[in-house]
Chains A and B, each alone.
Chain A
């Protein structure tokens, strides 16, 4: 069974960098899927942050491209998100996910991790 688990600090100070890691179990990250990050601010809808392929090729939401970086560590079967210069608007529930190639559906989601940006 494929499982994704997010990990990282739950509290980040404004202007600092948010860093999250997603550990994939039950499936090789080098398999034929993208790996992505999605977030959901409190009381708001879902926002896609970006995807990465095991080759390291990534694409990002235009609104977050300047601040977000997604990377992959095949040796640990993990992928990570860094988001720099965070503000309160980055407070959200962050999900990692497996994204189908070609159809771009999300068939496996992590449980999500809450990140609060506050001093």
Chain B
């Protein structure tokens, strides 16, 4: 099973700042199967990025994904108040879907 490790566990930033979130896989991931999600308290997750770098429908362009192999990154270029939330990555491999432990983006 591919293990996804996200770092940092939490990030304290101010509105307008850039957030860079990392997702590292225990073995090579098919880039087509790497996705990022946002989850706010009490809400279901929302798909942000699929296939490592493609934005889902309706997602603002301040969200971008990059990476390949074992290292992937989600960047939020300028944090808006609604972006302070929990983010996690997900991949699909031979043993099915696995999720990272997540990064909490908090207001500084």
Contacts and interface: CB of A to CB of B under 8 A. Distances in A.
A binds B: yes
Interface of A: 36, 38, 45-48, 50-51, 59-62, 95, 99-100, 102-107, 109-112
B91 to A, nearest CB: 8
B32 to A, nearest CB: 5
Contacts of B37: 106
A112 B42 CA distance: 10
B96 A61 contact: yes
A103 B51 contact: yes
Q: Is the interface of A mostly helix, strand, loop or mixed?
A: strand
8 contacts: A46-B45, A62-B96, A103-B51, A105-B33, A106-B47, A107-B50, A107-B56, A111-B44
B33 A103 contact: yes
Contact of B95 (A62, A102, A107, A112): A62
Given A62-B1, A103-B51, 13 more contacts: A45-B99, A46-B88, A48-B96, A48-B97, A59-B96, A62-B95, A99-B97, A103-B35, A105-B47, A105-B50, A105-B90, A106-B35, A107-B47
The 7 closest A-B pairs by CB, nearest first: A104-B92, A105-B50, A109-B44, A48-B97, A105-B35, A46-B99, A104-B33
B interface: dominant SS: strand
A111 B40 CA distance: 12
A61 B99 CA distance: 12
B101 interface: yes
Contacts of B44: 95, 109-112
Interface string B66-104: 000000000000000000000010111001111111100
